[in-house]
Amino acid sequence: MKSRDIAPLEAAIGYRFNRPELIEQALTHSSQARELESMQIADRKPVPDNEQLEFLGDAVLGFVTTQELFQRFPSFHEGELSKLRAHLVSEKHLIRVAQLLNIGHYLRLGRGEEKSGGRHKPALLVDALEAILAAVYLDGGFEAARQLVMQQIVSPELERIALNGTGLPLSDYKSALQEKLQATGRPQPTYVLVKEHGPEHSKTFTVEARLSSAENNGKPEFVSRAEGSTKKSAEQDAARQLLEYLSKLPTDTNIPPRQRVRSR
């Protein structure tokens, strides 16, 4: 088939190629490449397809996503980071990105794949998206590829999850609380597991976050309480409540009045 003008796609991804052959290869499915090879009469030469680019793009996507999550959520443990990364690089998420970019419109498919609806197949769209990431990386370097991953794949989804709430860990309240207390010269809180109940495979943990001050003779100034399916999630929610408490204090005082409040 005749190649489509890729200018609208370049505009959509925010990158213009210096070597157009890279984006053309990223959009070429193996069915089209093998078909073109079969049409050659003499001196048959391999026609590049996007399979190798897809392999490289998958690695670029994984690294950029991992690096961003590592830097953005320093207090999350490995399991939480892995869960969030798995979602961001999943076919379910990437297919939505590919559809928003209208990648199917630009695919170069063989006749058989075209007839079977290849332009709408999730696997082909995701492979092409990852191949495009690799093409940008090869054409413009790591920073260009990183910007594409962040702008189209990672940042919008993190914002969407934060607004809608899906159970995925997105707000590092413990780190924010730590920074807040350090800035005001306050001691760090203590997190205490006060209760756990439920079957072994589905426990609920109750955690208290206790905020102390030097003038309270060792007694907590404020105590928040939260429940979660893991100790870490309960601690995050308890830290969030402490942040809310601190945000309501007068800004011109470092030592707020004594108060003890339990929530939940």
Statement to judge: residues 139 and 215 lie in one domain:
no
Query: What is the biggest distance separating any 2 CA atoms in the chain, rounded to whole angstroms?
Result: 91
Our count of domains for the chain comes to 2
One domain, residues 203 and 155: no
Residue 261 lies in a domain: no
Could you tell me if 108 and 38 lie in one domain? Answer: yes
Residue 130 is a catalytic residue:
yes
- State pLDDT tens for residues 49-76: 899 999 999 999 999 999 999 998 887 8
Q: 57: domain range? A: 7-164
The reported pLDDT for the residue numbered 261 is 42
Backbone angles phi, psi at 202, to 5 degrees: -150, 60
Q: Do 137 and 239 belong together in one domain?
A: no
**Cα dist. 167→104, 197, 227, 248 in Å?**
31, 20, 13, 27
List beta partners, residue 210: 190, 223
- 87 and 217 part of one domain: no
Contact of 208 with 194, CB cutoff 8 Å: yes
Quick check: is 260 in a domain? no
Mark whether 184 and 144 lie in a shared domain.
Answer: no
Domain contains 256? no
Confidence (pLDDT) at 137: 98
User: Which is the catalytic residue, given 130, 139, 157, 208?
Assistant: 130
Task: Give me the catalytic one of 35, 49, 54, 58.
Answer: 58
Q: What is the Cβ-side half-sphere exposure of residue 170, based on CA atoms within 13 angstroms?
A: 17
Which residues in the chain show pLDDT less than 70?
1-4, 37, 41-43, 163-167, 169, 214-218, 251-264
Last residue of some domain: 111, 131, 164? Answer: 164
Same domain as 41, residue 156: yes
pLDDT number for residue 256:
44
The answer to whether residues 20 and 55 belong to one domain is yes
